[in-house]
Structure 1
Amino acid sequence: MSGGHSRSGWWWLAGGGLLVAAGLIAGGMLFGGPEAQKLTAIASLLTALAALVPSYVGMRRQRKKITPADREAALADLAEDLRRQWAAEAAVRAVRRPAPIRVRWSATGHPVNASPAAVLGAAAVPSTPSRLNLSGDVADVAAKYRKLPNRQLVVLGEPGGGKSTMAMLLVLDLLADREPADPVPFLVNLAPWHPGEALHDWLARQLDREHAGLGGRAECLRFLASGRVLPVLDGFDELPGWHQQDALAAIDEAVDGGKPLILTCRTREYLDLLTRTRSPLANAAVVELAPVTAEDVRTFLDVSTDARPRWQPVLDRIRAEPGGELALALSTPLMVSLARTVYAEPGTEPAELLALPDREAVQRHLLEAFVPSLYPERDPRYPVADVVEWLTVLACYLGHWEINGIAWWELHYALPRFRSWLLRLLHPGIPLGGLLGLAVGGAAEHWLDLRLAWLPGAAAGLALGLLISFRWPPETPRPVSDEGVRSARRSALFPASNVAVLVALVTFVGLPEFITVPLPAGAWVLGLLAVLGAGATVWVVSYGHNLREQPLDFDREPGELVRADRRYARSHLPEQAWFGLVGALLAVAGLLGTAHSIVGLGGLLVVYLCLSLRLRFASATFALTRWLMAADGLLPRDLLDFLHDAHQRGVLRRAGPFYEFRHALLQVHLAERRWVNWV
């Protein structure tokens, strides 16, 4: 962090040199004759260059070198951030209240393990057993994971079997007593990854996006490649089937050399993949989660003396028929947790589960009753019928696009076709195409003598811009910090002041040497406006460019992310207002007949471009999207408040800036109620 004072010193040098140059110009113009003006012009130019060149070189050299101590501090900060994040998420999901469901695990008996010698080391395995001797429960998985020489673990389980919850609790346990030399576990959903991108490159992007304090993507890649960050990859089964073989090979290559790894996957999908490839991870232990036992179900559901009479018939059935349909339905942590939530209120009757014919009926009933049980009728903000419909729309949207995370900046894809065209017409590619076509048509009219060629040129350009808009990727949030905004402003002063000095030299010193006609008395005012206009134009352009180069900080909840993007959008207001004003003046000149019609139409297109760029920011697009969705009754107007509330109630879970359904089974169940199509 040293170098801030010296960097400000370079700015003082640049600013002082420019002030001296400006003083020389003013003094020569006001008090000197022709020869004095020439001498002051040369002196001011040399002074400006003497100040600007070394200051530019100095600023380029002021790069902070990252030391090993800086890296250790960054990892410690990352560990603390992740601990707070997942502790808060565990509290929302209530996975530790009153205690986690006891989930047992053991080395899988399926032929998907690497050899015991490869997993535990040859010295630890004197004989050659055919199966690893690993077992435990959710409480001791962290301690036993640390004993693995390569610290590579694959966790298999049935849908709803507790894989994601175990991964989260494992991360919390590893962070709770982490030593400085231990890797920092980074839990991420694997579904968005495409195996065409190297795993560590993708993970480095996620780390850099969500934790800006690590020093950039290159540093994140260094942490991953050196094993200082432990990837905890949740949901391997959520990758498309045709990608899974390449994905497993890429994961094995990424962790080659003893780098740590934790991977979760559904049992059936992993077995099918290994049956085809017969290539397990070379050094990973593979464990499998066992079904929740009837005794553990009774322990978890027998929560209080007041609730015990209501639960007694269910507990008696489970005790009498541990292999019956009801016990099998409640053999996963998800279903046991849903059952306790659905029948938490004193007036509910868990005994109605006894009347359901089979396992599937019990699970379907619990999924159907889960959301209404969390939204009592007395809540006027979110009527339960509306909540179910809104969640159904979100579930169908995720299913249609085959994604699992609700990113507010991508919700415009959920707009119905007609509404989506409204956003399409506000795309900046359309006015850009119109300006290009107008320029080509104007050139054709001038050089080829084609009358009014600018009109069909502009129309063709608008059509081309509309086609380009389909290939133009949408904007993502730009949560630049306040310090980043200030840094962009300061950095923009250098090229702006440089250009202003050069324009001043040309305007007040160079032009008078070549203009022989007498200038009007107020000509210096026009010259001053030219200097200010050139400096302002360069400043707003440079400021916008510098903002786009600032590091992003996605380590915040979605509502704060929206507010940060709005601040970023407001920081671009000067450049958009400046060019919009220029376009408006040109348009007025064209309408009043003081300029060619091409100039007027070009001005209108510039205004159109500035307005569309204003709406192009992710937060602005989201604001328009939620209003359009609310107008159709598809989603609530206060969408982020609704998503936050659903997360607090336990319907959704949060992973970084994304919301996800508590479980894929709940998402699929809601989507099956009423499929909404966006084709």
Structure 2
Amino acid sequence: MGEFGLLVRKWRGRAEMTQEQLAEKSSVSVRTIRRLETGPDKNFRLDTVRLLADALNLAAEERRELMSAAGVVPPLPDSPEARSDPPGADLPLAAVADQLAEVLQGRWRREMEQRGAHNPFPLPVRWQRAPDDLADHWDNVRGVRPGGTASPLDLAGDLTEIAEVYRRVPSGRLVVLGRAGAGKTILMIRFVLDYLATRTRADPVPVIVSLGSWDPTAHALRDWVVDRLLRDHPDLAAAAPGGSTLAAALVEAGRVLPVLDGFDEIPASLHHAALLALNGTSLPMLLTSRPREYRKAVTTTNVLTWAACVWIADLTSADLSDYLRRSSRTTRWDPVLSELRDRPDNLASKNLMGVLSTPLMVSLARAVYNDTGHDPVSLLDTSRFPATDDLENHLLGSFVPAVYPAHSAALPCSDWTGDRVQRWLGYLARHLGRLGTPDLAWWQLGNSLRRSARILGVVVTSTIVTVFADWLIYLPQAITESGVTFGLRVALLDGLLGGPIVGLGFGLVYGIIVEFGGVVFAPARVQIRWFGWSGRTPAARTVLARFGAGFLGGFAVGLGQQLVATIGRGMFWGFPTPIDTLIMTTLANMLVFGVIFGLAAGLVFGLTSVLETPVDLDSATTPLAMLRTNRTIVIRRVLVLAPIFMVAIAFGGTLMVTLLQGSLGQLSWPLSYGLTVGAIGGSAGALSYIFAFTAWGQWLVFCRVWLPLTGKLPWALTTFLDDAYQRGVLRQVGAVYQFRHARLQHHLGQASGHDPSRSLGQQQRKS
């Protein structure tokens, strides 16, 4: 038993909790807790450690001790977990960069372990200097003065030397070229880890960002890098000296080194603009790309200014032989390796060596044949695999069935059949293809539905929650005042009339901001403090803007509520005459309720800018950790603001009726009535707001109900995504998932209707 397991067991005993009780409180499975307490496993995940620490109610010192035992980065003495001040407040920018570096170091170390790059040893990734026409003049790379000359640098190296090679480049700009699957992603991760291991406080912090989601015609590179930082590190939304965010301050101060992954994944039509944008900045950077796409962009534009360039070499047969032999406890690969060694000129050997010359295909071959019982000798069958494309498609198509074996007890859900898993992964792959990005963000999954379907979903959801909120709150009062029969009729009709009005209102607003505003509901970067002021003074324009938005929304709701009330009263008691009296009374009531609801909503929305504080830096360690964090943020926001809204309506109504008494006729506002109206408005409005205008609410409506209901995604979606990550189908990059490789994503997206059961040894070549 390790130190971590001893600490968990000790503090669980102190809390008088069983493993099952700790699992229920922490949302960590019993199996995981049992393994952590008794096993030698050292692969700890930061979000798991945090969940256990929260469930055990550990003090700050105990929390740091637990995180230290887990081998993850404990909070700094002046970090958000050790202080009550807003994260980042009054911290020197160098200290913020140091904290970011420590978080990234822990994150990428765990990610490297998860990808199995060390098992049994990293595949060799070597490179040589690229042709001179793909790099800038050495005079520019080495920064010699005008009139001077510089000789080329020796840039040859392997995976263990990437940080050292980068530091040889005086300009701080290096382009790494390699064909699909050549190991560029592992090289980047290794670069970040090795660079951070030798980083001084004066050095920038390397941050990996995927270029596939960058539109250089819409966003400047610096602004886009800042946005990626804010997405993956919400704490950096805190204000820096000068009024910008900490993320923007870090980038502008040169404390961030962009590691730009996948120039080739930018749409080809934007390559020209992308190179121009990259050359329009003086930022140091490490850029990766496939050679063909980069060469084509260079010939139509220019090379990356000041940049040296290296080219990743293919694996050799010796590399392949050593790796596959040591990765298996059997001799199943020996006949294949012997064929490659003894008869390299055979068609079968040429084809297979051409495919297995990249780390991606080697890792797929290992996954497909090491643990499935299938014989890799079949890879030498040229009648089934006459060309390299056939072999590659076979390995890509066989990977998912290999890691999701049929009838396996290791599958989290019994209904995860091979065809369903293939269909779900294919849906995700096609969703990313439509978005034109490799980043699988949970808050964008709902956008895979048509806009009309999403608007309908918002209308239906808002209608349902409003109807039930009205019935739950107003029904007891109506029965008490009017008797069971009549009160039941009044309350039921009130809910059935009011619900669709609110639903249509929220659907209308949702449709407008999505259709014309192009809004994407991203996870919140701030949370509501439970107690008191957040410690910062928000800009006056922020408070006024939120107050104005809240007032307009509340005013519209008040108008609609009284119109519905007039119709309801007329259906039960008849419409009074003359008609002009009815109209004037209705208009007066609509005005009064509009002002009351508007002021209450404006007060609540304005108050959020005072109570908000950025979330912790560690909270977005993984996509699912960000999901849990945003769930907490949304629930906390509702629990704080809904009661304030109810009280504001109840007592604000009393004040407004007193002020307007006589000028608009005889007005009445009993406190009990105000509390009922406020409770209905607060609860229904808050729930409708969650489902319509928050990332977590959209996730609930579309990803946990709509998409599973239509069979496009599984019901246990979070479990499915995490399981796909554990099996190596997905990888994590900050707050988002990505497919293991763009080739796998493309294959799954194209494989609709494909029968995965035929991929392992039975699939016939398509005619």
Query: Which of the numbers 103, 113, 119 marks the counterpart of 2:125?
Result: 103
Matching residue of 2:362: 336
Matching residue of 2:169: 148
| Secondary structure class of the residue paired with 1:288 | strand
* Cα distance, 1:291–1:72 mapped onto 2, change above 3 Å: same
For residues 426-451 of structure 1, the C-alpha deviation after alignment (integer angstroms, 9 at most, x for no partner) is: 5989x9xxxxxxxxxxxxxxxxxxxx
Alignment partners' CA distance in 1, 2:386 and 2:279: 45
Alignment partner of 1:230 is 2:257: yes
Report the CA distance between 1:156 and its aligned residue.
0.8
Unaligned runs of 5+ in 2: 1-84, 466-500, 544-596, 654-666, 755-767
Which deviates further from its counterpart, 552-561 or 240-249?
Answer: 552-561
* Cα distance, 1:657–1:392 mapped onto 2, change above 3 Å: same
* Cα distance, 1:610–1:419 mapped onto 2, change above 3 Å: same
Query: Which of the numbers 395, 406, 420 marks the counterpart of 1:366?
Result: 395
* Cα distance, 1:667–1:128 mapped onto 2, change above 3 Å: same
Kept in 2, the 8 Å contact 1:92–1:649? The answer is no
| Residue type of the alignment partner of 1:227 | G
Query: Which of the numbers 516, 540, 549 marks the counterpart of 1:471?
Result: 516
Alignment partners' CA distance in 2, 1:187 and 1:283: 20
| Residue type of the alignment partner of 1:191 | G
Kept in 2, the 8 Å contact 1:480–1:552? The answer is no
| Residue type of the alignment partner of 2:304 | L
Query: Which of the numbers 377, 399, 409 marks the counterpart of 2:433?
Result: 399
Report the CA distance between 1:185 and its aligned residue.
0.7
* Cα distance, 1:628–1:260 mapped onto 2, change above 3 Å: same
Alignment partners' CA distance in 1, 2:255 and 2:210: 19
Matches within 5 A, 1:154-233: 154-195=175-216, 196-214=218-236, 215-216=238-239, 217-233=244-260
Matching residue of 1:297: 320
Kept in 2, the 8 Å contact 1:74–1:213? The answer is no
Alignment partners' CA distance in 1, 2:695 and 2:502: 28
| Residue type of the alignment partner of 2:365 | A
Matching residue of 2:418: 384
Kept in 2, the 8 Å contact 1:150–1:260? The answer is yes
- Taking structure 2 as the reference length, what is the TM-score of the superposition? 0.63
Alignment partners' CA distance in 2, 1:547 and 1:426: 31
Matching residue of 2:690: 614
Alignment partners' CA distance in 2, 1:212 and 1:158: 34
Kept in 1, the 8 Å contact 2:235–2:525? The answer is no
* Cα distance, 1:534–1:629 mapped onto 2, change above 3 Å: closer
Alignment partners' CA distance in 2, 1:543 and 1:675: 52
Matches within 5 A, 1:475-486: 475-480=521-526, 484-486=529-531
For residues 334-363 of structure 1, the C-alpha deviation after alignment (integer angstroms, 9 at most, x for no partner) is: 001111111121622111111122211111
Which deviates further from its counterpart, 193-202 or 114-123?
Answer: 114-123
Report the CA distance between 1:281 and its aligned residue.
1.8
Alignment partner of 1:120 is 2:142: yes
Kept in 2, the 8 Å contact 1:204–1:220? The answer is yes
For residues 62-119 of structure 1, the C-alpha deviation after alignment (integer angstroms, 9 at most, x for no partner) is: 999977x822222211111101111111111111222211121111125121112221
| Residue type of the alignment partner of 2:374 | T
Larger radius of gyration: 1
Alignment partners' CA distance in 1, 2:646 and 2:684: 8
| Residue type of the alignment partner of 1:290 | A
Alignment partner of 1:272 is 2:296: yes
For residues 202-238 of structure 1, the C-alpha deviation after alignment (integer angstroms, 9 at most, x for no partner) is: 2123223433455545443333233322110111111
Matching residue of 2:340: 318
Alignment partners' CA distance in 2, 1:359 and 1:266: 19
* Cα distance, 1:645–1:372 mapped onto 2, change above 3 Å: same
Aligned residue pairs, count = 536
Matches within 5 A, 1:544-583: 544-547=608-611, 550=614, 555-573=620-638, 574-576=640-642, 579=645
| Residue type of the alignment partner of 2:396 | L
Alignment partners' CA distance in 1, 2:750 and 2:256: 39
* Cα distance, 1:242–1:464 mapped onto 2, change above 3 Å: same
Report the CA distance between 1:419 and its aligned residue.
4.5
Alignment partners' CA distance in 1, 2:629 and 2:107: 19
Alignment partners' CA distance in 2, 1:490 and 1:113: 50
- Taking structure 1 as the reference length, what is the TM-score of the superposition? 0.70
Query: Which of the numbers 216, 231, 245 marks the counterpart of 2:272?
Result: 245
| Secondary structure class of the residue paired with 1:254 | coil
Unaligned runs of 5+ in 1: 1-61, 432-456, 497-532, 587-592
Report the CA distance between 1:123 and its aligned residue.
8.8
Alignment partners' CA distance in 2, 1:362 and 1:368: 10
Kept in 2, the 8 Å contact 1:152–1:284? The answer is yes
Matches within 5 A, 1:351-500: 351-355=377-381, 356-377=385-406, 378-379=408-409, 380=411, 381=413, 382-415=416-449, 419-425=453-459, 465=509, 468-469=512-513, 470-472=515-517, 473-480=519-526, 484-488=529-533
Alignment partners' CA distance in 2, 1:607 and 1:220: 36
| Secondary structure class of the residue paired with 1:297 | helix
For residues 356-389 of structure 1, the C-alpha deviation after alignment (integer angstroms, 9 at most, x for no partner) is: 2221111111101111111223135233332111
* Cα distance, 1:230–1:491 mapped onto 2, change above 3 Å: closer
Matching residue of 2:701: 624
Alignment partners' CA distance in 1, 2:526 and 2:149: 58
Kept in 2, the 8 Å contact 1:584–1:607? The answer is no
For residues 517-552 of structure 1, the C-alpha deviation after alignment (integer angstroms, 9 at most, x for no partner) is: xxxxxxxxxxxxxxxx99998864443333556467
Alignment partners' CA distance in 2, 1:542 and 1:462: 20
Alignment partners' CA distance in 1, 2:256 and 2:648: 51
Kept in 2, the 8 Å contact 1:116–1:125? The answer is no
Kept in 1, the 8 Å contact 2:207–2:259? The answer is yes
What fraction of aligned residue pairs are identical, expressed as a percent? Answer: 33
Kept in 1, the 8 Å contact 2:125–2:315? The answer is yes
Alignment partners' CA distance in 2, 1:649 and 1:63: 38
For residues 575-611 of structure 1, the C-alpha deviation after alignment (integer angstroms, 9 at most, x for no partner) is: 335657998999xxxxxx999xxx9999999876444
For residues 370-427 of structure 1, the C-alpha deviation after alignment (integer angstroms, 9 at most, x for no partner) is: 1111122313523333211111111111112222111111111123677434324259
Matches within 5 A, 1:11-90: 70-90=92-112
| Residue type of the alignment partner of 1:612 | S
Kept in 1, the 8 Å contact 2:462–2:688? The answer is yes
Report the CA distance between 1:142 and its aligned residue.
1.2
For residues 107-150 of structure 1, the C-alpha deviation after alignment (integer angstroms, 9 at most, x for no partner) is: 11251211122213449998666x65421111212112112112
Report the CA distance between 1:331 and its aligned residue.
1.1
| Residue type of the alignment partner of 1:367 | L
| Residue type of the alignment partner of 2:294 | Y
Kept in 2, the 8 Å contact 1:371–1:388? The answer is yes
